[in-house]
Structure 1
């Protein structure tokens, strides 16, 4: 019956030179679902495989999302594993892990999430050896470093979502205070995606005009208080959200999509993703966030951001905190 509805045209096959964009999301909790939804509505992949340990929930979520595909640009969405996408997967997004508890720091999640990652990565290496791995689970910097060490992938192809969301929150709150569009604010949060994150006030600017042109010490007290409040709200945003609704999801889903688009479209975007440090600011052998150029090869370049003395010390301290935590882990 159905074969009579659409008659195939022998000359209408997709040219072999056009390769579909393929992705996998491992872990379909609240963050994984937010990523999947955001990626679908922004038409990022031609084929998207969702993987989760809970088979019934996985099938239900895929069914629910699939029923909305007719409202969107078409995506071949299905449940499965990394084995189903084949060796030409572009990006493997890992959101798997246990949820952050109220009042729990990201670093305290490490022991609970690390064992899960070791199992996941065995299959990623086997079935998707040429993919870019995008780590979203927390503590993201530690898990990005672990992913790099376990997989043996080039550091350019192991990326953490890092402080992309923190930087977005930073710009958003500055924009609210100034009464302008957040896209006109240029400001970064660097270091750990966690309690030791560092605000780079020295280069923060709006339309080329620095927010702190003459140094922090030369700001009036009320100005210092306003900026301190902005960073406090950035630093504690996740804790505040978790206290109220139990988890964060939507904003990290959008941040993940932004990174994916930069990779798939080779945008040469500067994003504060987490990646391997090998000498910048005297920091070695750790993953954390600084501005990096991202394209289809992953991390292409690192921006040699000029930091003042205090910011550089804070970044180095952030790196040492992450190193101290990782020293306690046995790969």
Structure 2
């Protein structure tokens, strides 16, 4: 048997382009844990990391790229534009302060969890939203905080203020400090 038979093509090769892409927005601990999980489970051909903190983003992307030798993922890229929020802003025609990204979904979930702990209720009965950017600049929407539809701000008009006896500002701080 000649070696040429070993190298003969049995079927056409698949195109080289990316067939599936996963984007992780935020390269904090949760984002990087998600990125590594995606890579280890071989869920995509291309992994994109997005964050506004350029130095951290560059470092995390390089770590993953250097470790890619041991993975099947063909491409790992990084950029600092949350493209979906940017596109929504451009298409909507709204001023930029009226378009809010969904990067604080996890913060909102943490807030609801902490509300549940405070009231000894399941978090699904607690409702509240953290908007803006993750971190110190995030904003708790105190007017929307409710338990089973009952507005907490109506029961406590000082909710979230410095002189709030229930210290709701501390709950928001726990969310930020994560």
**TM-score, structure 1 normalization:** 0.32
Partner of 2:150: 209
Equivalences for residues 82-97 of structure 1 within 5 A:
96=78
Matching of residue 57 in structure 1 with residue 67 in structure 2: yes
| 2:82 maps to 1:144 | yes
Counterparts in 2 of 1:178 and 1:223: CA distance versus 1, 3 Å: farther
Show the counterpart of 2:34: 35
8 Å CA contact 2:24, 2:35 repeated in 1: no
| Structure-2 residue corresponding to 1:80 | 74
Question: 2:120 aligns to what?
Answer: 179
What does residue 23 of structure 1 align with? 21
Whole-Å separation in 2 of the counterparts to 1:204 and 1:194: 19
The 1:40–1:47 alpha-carbon spacing in structure 2 relative to 1, beyond 3 Å, is closer
Gaps of 5+ in 2: 1-18, 48-60, 93-99
| 2:174 aligned with 1:236 | no
User: Residue 230 of structure 1: SS of its match in structure 2?
Assistant: helix
Residue 320 of structure 1 aligns with which residue?
none
1:279-294 pair list within 5 angstroms: none
Contact 2:107–2:130 (8 Å) recurs in 1? yes
Work out the CA distance in 1 between the residues paired with 2:117 and 2:91: 40
* Preserved CA contact (<8 Å) 1:50 1:58: no
Q: Among 192, 195, 198, which residue is 2:139 paired with?
A: 198
Would the aligned equivalents of 1:25 and 1:49 in 2 still touch at CA under 8 Å? no
CA deviation profile, 1:54-104 (whole Å, cap 9, x unmatched): 5441233x3xxxxxxxxxxxxxxx31127xxxxxxxxxxx7x4xxxxxxxx
Q: Secondary structure at the match of 1:24?
A: strand
| TM-fit CA distance, 1:187 | 0.6
* 1:48 maps to 2:41: no
Q: What do residues 242-279 of structure 1 show as CA deviations (whole Å, max 9, x unaligned)? A: xxxxxxxxxxxxxxxxxxxxxxxxxxxxxxxxxxxxxx
Q: Structure 1 CA distance, aligned partners of 2:140 and 2:85?
A: 26
CA spacing shift, 1:173–1:207, aligned 2, 3 Å: same
Kept in 1: contact 2:22–2:46 (CA 8 A)? yes
* Structure with larger RCO (C-alpha < 8 A, sep 6+): 1
Q: In structure 2, do the counterparts of structure 1 residues 168 and 40 end up closer, same or farther at CA, with 3 Å as the change threshold? A: farther
How far did residue 208 of structure 1 move? 1.2
Alignment TM-score, normalising by the size of structure 2: 0.54
Q: Which residue of 1 aligns with 2:165?
A: 224
For 1:58 and 1:29, how far apart are their aligned partners in 2? 19
